[in-house]
Amino acid sequence: MIPSVETMIEQYVDTWNASSLEAYKAGFAACWAPEATYTDPGHALIQGVDGIADLALHSWNQLPGRKFNILKRPVFHHNSGKYYWTVALPEGPRQGLDYFEFNDQFQITRLVSFF
């Protein structure tokens, strides 16, 4: 079980740095609620652990070696929050912001990514 919001977000971001579908599924299963949803500028709705794992693998296949890091620690209240991240890409770093909602077990239930 994840003990805190900070650990939940660390698990989520670290999982994006894996490189296999099995690693994505295992990592996201720890911090992602079964019914969780994800949206970003390029995807209207991704749902569940399998959906986010498939998206991460697709991202890895398009940009092998990319590396995500937390840029600013999460701030949160009442089961919602935000944090800033960066990703190292061949053309240079890129920054983004994720808004998230979570349950009492510190699992993400909704994440909206801006980049």
Per residue in 88-98, pLDDT (tens digit) is: 998 999 999 99
Query: What pLDDT score does 35 carry?
Result: 96
- Strand 32-40 to strand 43-47: parallel, antiparallel, or no bridges (unpaired)? antiparallel
Neighbour count for residue 18 (Cβ, 10 Å): 18
Backbone φ, ψ for residue 51 (5° rounding)? -65, -45
Rounded Cα gap, residues 80 and 78, in angstroms: 6
pTM for the complete prediction?
A: 0.95
Give per-residue pLDDT as tens, 38-58: 999 999 899 999 999 999 999
β partners of residue 108:
32, 102
CA–CA distance, 47 with 3 (Å, rounded to integer): 24
Are 25 and 50 contacting, i.e. CB atoms less than 8 angstroms apart? Answer: yes
Phi, psi of 77 (to 5 degrees): -165, 155
Residue range of the domain that includes 95:
5-114
CA 97 to mean position of chain CA atoms = 11
Number of domains in the chain: 1
What CATH number corresponds to the domain at position 10? Answer: 3.10.450.50
Q: Rounded mean pLDDT of 52-65?
A: 96
Mean pLDDT score of the chain: 96
